[in-house]
A = this chain, B = another copy of it.
Amino acid sequence: MRTIGLGLVLALAATSAGAQVPNRTALEKVVAERHDQSVRMLQEWIALPTIAAEKRNVAEGAEHMRKLALDAGFQQARIVQSGGVPGVFATLDAGAPVTLGIYFMYDVKQFDPTEWQSPPLSGTLYDRPGEGQAIRGRGAVNQKGPETAFLAALQAFKASGRKLPVNLVLVAEGEEEIASPNFPTIVADPEVAAALKKTVGVFIPAASQDADGTAGITLGAKGAVEFQLIVGGETSGKYPKNDIHSSNYARIESPAWRLVKALNTMVADDGHTPTIDGFMDNVQPLTARQKELIAQRVASSNEATEKKNLGVEQWIDNAGFQAASERFLAMPTVNIQGLVSGYTGVGGKTVLPGRAEAKLEFRLVPNMTKDEVVTKLKAHLAKRGFDDVKVVVSGGYGPNQTDENSPFIQAQKRVLDRAKIPYTITPRNAGSWPGVVFNGAPLNLPTGQFGVGRGSGAHAPNEWFLIKSSNPKIAGLDETTMLFVDYLYEVAKLGRK
């Protein structure tokens, strides 16, 4: 991680970047003039939430995404059917030698308006004391805000009649929030695959700055596989079809206990070590360099604040911060997202449940794959006779990992270095995004999340994204847009792959 002294970092950045971007000041002026239009573009997008889990705005969301691409200057954009929520594929040919891949998600997480301070689809602008003007709305930071900043960069090129320094290939999906079950199908579309093959790498715009302005370059992400285990009258005649009077449990099997027994075989008594047969076989340990990067991040983080934000007093096994941070990135997990069976209200109710369900997810590290762990889970349960426990895989993908020294990542570093924006390099995101679709075979492309700017509340109420920053070290919407401009010129230097 690099640190800087006090000062107007982003103002300095412009000067430094100016040397790399022809007539940068002119573009910066266009971005500023188009500020209100960009904010409206984001507000309109927030107002149209595509929610895959609820099948909400499926066709409308895809069509809106297609139009956003065309409006930003992509010469062609088409909807790609996948069996689920469709994808959008768009290309912008600038006649440049280098082609950059961009991944967008246009869906958002579910929301409960009663938990919000303003309507979650209103895109309300408000003041965050000490930070500046922000926009509040579902999708604000995850991922429509950062994506809008990128589109605003393209709009600025278009408005000023300037040619892009690189060609672009955009692939957008509307099922990221349900673990991208059909994204491989979209990317396997022959035209999409052929276009992506020409790119130097694929990135997703992300708001990476923390409260003190430190940005981040992320070299990979864990994979995630979401699945449910279901036991009950629907899976075996041993269990009642509905909840019945609990006295019957003396003569009728309980799906809730069966679920407990199946789950119990999947994690050790410590409550966290996976015990599914063969689950850990392909786990790659962290390298010395990865541990070093983690140590840098640990040194610059406040452990007490992090614990407080997470609402915990200790890490697993009462580990120290470095060990816990290594676990965070290195350990694959078998997480219980939720349990639901029988009576779930206040107190008790004398029923024998007719159904029990555990919602789970695997988080995978290199070199695990989705197919591998799903196959192993099923074999594990079958071997132990749990043929009455139904496994429903609702989505997922493997991990992605890109080399720190790849030209694609080096370009990101140069942009931040030149802008004098401090940043950490995170060897792997403990969360997940389907970069493996680009990063794995057959494309084997470098991938990454990249960007500046700031926001929070992904998946939570009152999600927000900074629009006008009052802190010179932190980028607002327009500064984030300009950083993407700088990045496009930097990528242009990579030469044809």
Chain A residues in the interface with B (C-beta under 8 A): 53, 110, 178-179, 222, 224, 226-228, 233, 237-242, 244-254, 256-261, 263-264, 267, 269, 271-272, 310-316, 319, 324-325, 327-331, 333, 335-354, 356, 359-361, 363, 394-395, 429-432, 459
Contact = CB atoms under 8 A, between A and B. Distances in A.
Contacts of A346: 53
A267 B272 contact: no
B339 A341 contact: yes
B242 A327 contact: no
A310 B260 contact: no
A339 B339 contact: yes
A29 B330 CA distance: 84
Contact of A344 (B240, B259, B333, B340): B340
A264 B260 contact: yes
A130 to B, nearest CB: 24
Contact of A348 (B252, B311, B359): B359
11 contacts: A178-B347, A240-B311, A246-B335, A254-B335, A256-B339, A259-B339, A311-B354, A336-B341, A338-B342, A344-B344, A348-B395
Complex A-B, nearest 9 residue pairs according to Cβ-Cβ distance, in ascending order: A237-B313, A241-B311, A338-B342, A338-B343, A256-B336, A247-B430, A226-B348, A340-B344, A339-B341
Contacts of A328: 247-248, 250-251
Given A251-B325, A253-B272, A239 B312 contact: yes
Contacts of A272: 249, 253-254, 257
A263 B336 CA distance: 15
Contacts of A354: 311
B338 A353 contact: yes
A250 B341 contact: no
A254 B129 CA distance: 35
A344 B348 contact: no
B254 A261 contact: no
A397 B253 CA distance: 24
A222 B316 CA distance: 42
Contacts of A431: 245, 247, 350
A310 B251 CA distance: 11
A346 B345 CA distance: 18
Copies of this chain, complex-wide, total: 2
A142 B346 CA distance: 22
Contact of A252 (B247, B248, B310): B310
Contacts of A349: 110, 337-338, 359, 459
B53 A251 contact: no
Contacts of A315: 251-252
A267 B257 contact: yes
Contacts of A348: 178-179, 226-228, 337-338, 359-361, 394-395
Given A226-B348, A327-B250, A359-B342, A311 B271 contact: no
A247 B314 contact: no
Contact of A333 (B110, B250, B314, B432): B250
B252 A53 contact: no
Contacts of A324: 251
Given A260-B263, A337-B342, 12 more contacts: A178-B348, A179-B348, A238-B312, A238-B313, A248-B310, A253-B316, A254-B272, A254-B336, A338-B351, A344-B359, A348-B361, A348-B394
Which residue, of A258, A325, A340, has the highest number of chain B Cβ atoms within 10 A? Answer: A340
A438 to B, nearest CB: 21
A210 to B, nearest CB: 16
A17 to B, nearest CB: 33
A353 B327 contact: no
Nearest to A340: B344
Contact of A312 (B237, B311, B430): B237
A350 B327 contact: no
A1 B84 CA distance: 62
Which residue, of A179, A244, A311, A353, has the highest number of chain B Cβ atoms within 10 A? Answer: A311
Contact of A245 (B53, B256, B342, B459): B459
Which residue, of A233, A335, A342, has the highest number of chain B Cβ atoms within 10 A? Answer: A335
B271 A257 contact: yes
A319 B360 CA distance: 33
Contacts of A316: 250-253
A343 B359 contact: yes
Contacts of A351: 337-338
A19 to B, nearest CB: 39
